[in-house]
Amino acid sequence: MEPSQLGPGNRIGTVVFVDIVQYSQQPVSQQAAMKVRFNELLGRALEHAPVADRVVLDAGDGAALCFLGDPEDALFAANSLLGAVVAEPGAVDLRLRLGINLGPVRVVKDINGHTNVIGDGINVAQRVMSFAEPNQILVSRSYYEVVSRLSQEYAQLFHYHGLHRDKHVREHEVYEVHVAVSPGAGQAAGPGDPVSPGGPEQATAPGAPGRFDAALLDRLTAALTREIGPVAKLVVRRAADRSSDRETLVAAVAEHVPEATRRAFRARLADLVAPPAKAAPAASATAAGVGPANPRSRSVAPIGPELLARVEQSLARHIGPVARLLVRNAAKQAASPRELFETLATHIESAEARRAFLAEADRASR
């Protein structure tokens, strides 16, 4: 973005300062390999952020990303970048520290005529980054105050990390962001893992961005949570706001899945974008004693009080008493036990605990 397009004066922007851990301690050949890998992952993380709303600065051993539009863009970019580093380890040992801050910045021209960003917004982002551990995202109090108010899901991503003092004796309250990819995330569903059957969800008002049936969004969220963790709720909501139809929505969501499992992820959701199959003539089949055309419809257990009680008990072991309310609400919208289980699993933060809950719930439904 050119400074002339922004006009004079300071602007409030969100800055993500990224540092490659131990970059300067490596030989030049290793630094070059690390930078190539970093640039590749960074380019993918920025694909969904409007080019007109961001400025990317090379910091040598990292980068500074300035977002002048929605503050959520910074969170998605940081989370996508670090998630890719954790989920897709390559030949290069790449670890990152990230700091996010919301504050005043100004886009100017540097001595070589290139676009640059100055101001307290970028300075504080660098300070916040310096407090982070390898593969950790920290945010400033100013960023937390704004983004945590946007939705309850956003607020749940932040955890108070403490008060830190920088080298200029300036104090900073910082919050940690729970990384989307945790141990076990990014694994394809195994034969014992419940997967929601292709339901009859229909998007409401196709062509109207962000207006999709709740059951469709719940299924996408459940599937994506298995891959990247609790931030899936935010990813699906953001994708729905920017998508005009099912195919675009599923494609946008799939972009956040690690490459290693992306194809399997899309295959499990293929029925959401494929044209519905023509129903077999039920009357003649029943008369002939064949039964329903879809044999799975006979094997799906009903969602009765006994099943709900078992699932509630299992979920409560992971998240506490609030499980009762969540089970009650999810049961009203779930079309099958498996859909119910996957919807409830999105409320469990740990990937290992989610898998354990899904296995317990699957056994309870038999």
Range ranked top by mean pLDDT from 92-96, 188-192, 207-211? 92-96
Q: Which residue has the tokens 């969100």?
A: 14
Beta bridge partners of 96: 20
Quick one: average pLDDT of 252-259?
Answer: 80
Collect contacts of 146-152 with beta carbons under 8 A, ≥24 apart.
Answer: 146/71, 146/102, 147/71, 147/72, 147/75, 147/102, 150/72, 151/234, 151/237
pLDDT tops 70 at residue 14: yes
For residue 349, count CB atoms less than 10 angstroms from its CB and return exposed for 0-12, middle for 13-18, buried for 19 or more: middle
The pLDDT score that the predictor gives to residue 181 is 47
The pLDDT score that the predictor gives to residue 284 is 45
Helix, strand or coil, per DSSP, at residue 341: helix
pLDDT tops 60 at residue 200: no
Those residues whose C-beta lies under 8 Å from the C-beta of residue 235, and which sit 6 or more positions away, are 76, 224, 228, 253, 256
The pLDDT score that the predictor gives to residue 211 is 65
pLDDT tops 90 at residue 352: no
Torsions phi, psi for 235 (to 5 deg) = -65, -45
The pLDDT score that the predictor gives to residue 230 is 62
DSSP code string of 10-36: -EEEEEEEEEETT-TTS-HHHHHHHHH
The pLDDT score that the predictor gives to residue 190 is 38
The pLDDT score that the predictor gives to residue 100 is 97
Cβ-contact 192, 360 below 8 angstroms: no
Alpha helices by DSSP H, listed for 271-350, are 282-287, 296-299, 305-319, 323-333, 337-345
pLDDT tops 50 at residue 207: no
Quick one: average pLDDT of 285-292?
Answer: 45
Residue percentage of the chain with pLDDT more than 70 = 79
Compute the distance between CA of residue 160 and CA of residue 173 in angstroms, rounded to an integer.
8
Q: Which residue has the tokens 């077999």?
A: 280
Q: Is the dihedral of CA 307, 308, 311, 316 positive or negative?
A: negative
State the pTM of this model: 0.57
Beta strands in the chain (DSSP E): 11-20, 54-58, 62-67, 96-109, 115-118, 136-140, 158-165, 171-177
pLDDT tops 70 at residue 285: no
Torsions phi, psi for 209 (to 5 deg) = -55, 135
The pLDDT score that the predictor gives to residue 63 is 95
Compute the distance between CA of residue 25 and CA of residue 126 in angstroms, rounded to an integer.
20
The pLDDT score that the predictor gives to residue 105 is 92
Q: Which of 126-140, 227-241, 281-295 has the lowest mean pLDDT?
A: 281-295
- What domains sit in the chain, N to C, each tagged with a CATH number? 3-177 (3.30.70.1230)
> How much of the chain is helix, strand and coil, in % rounded to 5?
45, 15, 40
**Span 134-174, pLDDT tens digits:** 999 999 999 999 988 887 777 888 999 999 988 888 899 99
pLDDT tops 80 at residue 9: no
What letter does residue 68 receive in the DSSP assignment? -
Over the Cα atoms of the chain, what is R_g?
23
Compute the distance between CA of residue 129 and CA of residue 122 in angstroms, rounded to an integer.
11
Chain-wide mean pLDDT for the chain?
78
Residue of 215, 204, 275 lying closest to 243 (CA atoms) = 204
**Span 98-136, pLDDT tens digits:** 999 999 999 888 888 888 899 999 999 999 999 999 999
**Span 26-73, pLDDT tens digits:** 999 999 999 999 999 999 888 877 788 889 999 989 999 999 888 888
Q: Which of 3-12, 43-52, 81-90, 163-172 has the lowest mean pLDDT?
A: 3-12
